Amino acid sequence: MVITKKRTTLLFILIILLAILLRCGAMVNRTFWYDEAFSILISEKGPQAILAGTLTMDEPSVTADIHPPTYYFLLDGWMHLFGSSILAARILSLLLGIGILVNIFLLTRELLGVPFALLASLGVAVFPFQVQFATEIRMYALLTFFLTLATFAFIKGMRTQSWKWWGLFAFSAALAQYTQNLAAFYLIPLALTGLFKRDWKLVRNTVLAGLGAVILYIPWLVHLPAQFAKIQHHYWIERPTLVVLINLMLRYTANLPLPDQWMLPSLFIAFLSVTLAALQTFLAYRQKLPGYKIGMWLAWLSFAPPLFLWLFSQWTPVYVERALLASQAAFCAWLAWVFLRTSMPRVVQWGMTLILAVGIGLGLSQLFTNDGYGIDPLKKVETILTAEVRPGDEVVHSNKLTYLPLFYYDPTLPMTFIGDDPGGSTDTLSKATRKILEVNDAPDIASAVGDAERVWFVIYQESVDEYVDAGYATHAHLQYLNDHYEQVSQSTYGDVLLYLFERKQ
């Protein structure tokens, strides 16, 4: 298929506009949450505070935060130019998401040609997994940008033997590691390409460029053992089961979470589309179709990184689906190869297109209309508190998850939150970081309320449900307040509960 340069440019611009439209919809509607609040609050403190919050030792060999600082530095600079509003911060991620799309276009065009590149970039533009996390105020869009750029530079270096491309590979790989430590789980499968090809010159160049990336990474590499100790002692992620690998296929197609009534058709869509693509790849290998090695390589980049991450997580759980956006982008390129290069029958091709379109539609609909999107319940709570809190009142949060977004909205409110159990799996906001952010916490509910006559209490419904499911009458913090105060009111905003208590006379 031959597409003129003018038509290619027009189609690519339309794909970018579609990507921006979808991401703007997600960006405007999604709820502002704890991780995003943390990103803004730590970034606006400046580079020195970012490094202190990342490197300060809270206890022997344990750092305060587990993430490298590159994204926080970038967000700090961005907010100096455009302000620290939620919308401004999300626009940075949106632009990085468009950069991912451009990288995939360039990579796929280099490997397969323009029609494949347009189809692959269309996939990156519309798949809900990409849309969701390309607007989040976290480092994952930046991570994916550097990983896809490293992949493009790797292919150019392999084909041209030019050291300028190997230099770009080393630089972008190092920046990916400076953005998120999990970048290694994508870069290692990428670096194994030369071994699988039995191309010893490629192996040599990869090793040399990899050493360059390691040298660039040394200033941070020396801190990695302490960060790893932090993960081993204080990390909320549980050891992944085989269900996680099934969820991966759902993430790649319709995305998660989904309403219960959509799970079965979405599973069908995910399994059927991935199975058909794998079957066509196997047939291409058997028939030795032109370009079959490229298809196998794209499938490798789609599934080897999550598999490596899953296996490593059986030892130390670090499996984070958001870190797999680069593999999902490779998945888009793999699907483009399957559709346009293999001998897939036309009726199967159209059927697969239809079911993928349905899956994408289900996922996008969930992003724009269901839980976690729409009116921000914590913003509503902040509005109520700002209007009704009296002098002497105390606003108490059951944990940091509701506190930090409200602290971003209005740091002047008389608020505190009940800290996590020291050393527990949820103890992720370290003492050093709390000091830098200038937040208020208390060891227990009694200390949090102090001698306040009126207490506003904020808690997620899910936290209450967990206690009830465990056989308790209600959450322990609510039980204490009921024992010592009279409940005046209770309001529900989305999944957030807001109580008002007055001390018993």
> Both 245 and 315 in a single domain?
yes
Neighbouring residues of 69: CB distance < 8 A, sequence distance ≥ 6 = 47, 50, 51, 54, 178
> Both 259 and 352 in a single domain?
yes
- Looking at residue 222, what is its pLDDT? 73
Domain that holds residue 94: 5-369
Q: How confident is the model at residue 229 (pLDDT cuts 50, 70, 90)?
A: low
CB atoms closer than 10 angstroms to residue 474:
12
> Both 347 and 220 in a single domain?
yes
The alpha carbon of residue 346 and the mean position of all alpha carbons in its chain are separated, in whole angstroms, by 36
Digit-coded pLDDT (tens) for 22-80: 999 888 878 899 999 999 999 999 999 888 877 766 554 444 567 889 999 999 999 99
Domain closes at, from 369, 399, 419: 369
Distance separating alpha carbons of residues 190 and 192, to the nearest angstrom:
5
Indicate the average pLDDT of the chain: 91
pLDDT at 191 > cutoff 80: yes
Domain count, the chain: 2
How far, CA to CA in Å, does 397 sit from each of 140, 249, 388, 417, 492? 28, 36, 17, 4, 15
Digit-coded pLDDT (tens) for 88-128: 999 999 999 999 999 999 999 999 999 999 999 999 999 99
> Both 411 and 345 in a single domain?
no
- Looking at residue 375, what is its pLDDT? 63
Domain closes at, from 369, 391, 420: 369
> Both 266 and 185 in a single domain?
yes
Cis peptide, bond prior to residue 257, ω within 30 of zero: yes
Q: Which residue has the tokens 């913003």?
A: 379
Q: What is the DSSP letter of 61?
A: T
pLDDT at 250 > cutoff 90: yes
Q: How confident is the model at residue 433 (pLDDT cuts 50, 70, 90)?
A: confident
- Looking at residue 224, what is its pLDDT? 65
> Both 57 and 84 in a single domain?
yes
Percent of the chain with pLDDT over 90: 78
- Assign residue 450 a region (left: φ > 0; alpha: ψ between -120 and 50; beta: otherwise): left
Digit-coded pLDDT (tens) for 312-351: 999 888 899 999 999 999 999 999 999 999 999 999 999 9
- Looking at residue 40, what is its pLDDT? 96
Q: At what angle do helices 292-313 and 325-341 cross, to 10 degrees?
A: 150
Q: Which amino acid is at 419?
A: G
pLDDT at 373 > cutoff 50: no
Phi, psi of 69 (to 5 degrees): -95, 0
Q: What is the DSSP letter of 242?
A: H
Averaged pLDDT, 264-272: 95
> Both 320 and 420 in a single domain?
no
> Both 431 and 405 in a single domain?
yes
Q: CB–CB of 125/16 below 8 Å? A: yes
pLDDT at 1 > cutoff 80: no
Q: CB–CB of 298/110 below 8 Å? A: no
> Both 95 and 238 in a single domain?
yes
- Looking at residue 376, what is its pLDDT? 83
Q: CB–CB of 29/131 below 8 Å? A: no
> Both 278 and 386 in a single domain?
no
Cross-strand bridge partners of residue 417: 397, 441
pLDDT at 371 > cutoff 70: no
- Looking at residue 368, what is its pLDDT? 83
> Both 344 and 409 in a single domain?
no
Read off the tokens for 356.
Answer: 């993928």
How far, CA to CA in Å, does 67 sit from each of 84, 132, 183, 214? 21, 21, 11, 17
- Looking at residue 372, what is its pLDDT? 43
Q: The domain that contains 419 carries what CATH number? A: 3.40.50
Read off the tokens for 177.
Answer: 């590691």
Averaged pLDDT, 224-252: 76
Q: C-alpha dihedral over 217, 141, 18, 190, to 10 degrees?
A: 50
- Looking at residue 61, what is its pLDDT? 40
- Looking at residue 67, what is its pLDDT? 82
Distance separating alpha carbons of residues 328 and 207, to the nearest angstrom:
26
Phi, psi of 272 (to 5 degrees): -65, -45
Q: CB–CB of 54/69 below 8 Å? A: yes
Count the helices and strands in the chain (H runs, E runs).
Answer: 24, 8
Which burial class, exposed, middle or buried, applies to 126 when counting CB atoms under 10 A from its CB (0-12, 13-18, 19+)? buried
> Both 338 and 409 in a single domain?
no
Q: Which residue has the tokens 């830098």?
A: 436
Domain closes at, from 350, 369, 388: 369
Percent of the chain with pLDDT over 70: 92
Digit-coded pLDDT (tens) for 448-473: 999 999 999 999 999 999 999 999 99
